[in-house]
A and B are shown apart, each in its own frame.
Chain A
């Protein structure tokens, strides 16, 4: 099951008796919950909202598969993405309504961001960052720490956004190789 096609897993879930959780459901969850969570991290304000989204989307997906409501199980990725998009849009509408109410009636206290427990080990990452060429390190810091776009960085460095992206891609590949080498050693 762990090496087969996503569509095969989806069809196995669809064939499941509604009263029992199966290995197919577990496998589908294992495969897609991280992707939905990433989608949530990108489109929602914090990690706990992304965690909730992953749970909610996978519940809907599995329920609809079992009910025979997914017409093309082979395109399960598209179905999960579509469900994720709809739920995020719904959450945003709800969030806008909630924010409007909160702004009117009570002081708003922003929820604290939960740190990423899986953040790369700093002791291993530091020498990889230090090993970059100065120009690449500047671009990486401006991108990932100062949240600047390639266009903004290009304006600072007097180059083009395309050149910044090329340098950034090279830097990221170097960091990844360096980090993996240090993990292996």
Chain B
């Protein structure tokens, strides 16, 4: 499990986090959950990038999907994508802020 994953899973609502290269390869995580989340993260990126292109919105920076049972989060960085899932019970905006706070910590 990657260091970033360990840091993010300290947030109680976060279920899984996967750091992946832009080619879709998970970093330091060979679990089934990482594969599953990685596939969905790639799907989300393709969807968003296509929509962004169609509407002239530019490069994708981040995404949140508020779900009934699980929320999905995506963050872009220079070399990696980060995908996360969290329980649907949590407030999606508060969780997004908390994830950003944890990511900003050194």
Q: Do A and B come from one complex?
A: no
A positions within 8 Å CB-CB of B: none
B positions within 8 Å CB-CB of A: none
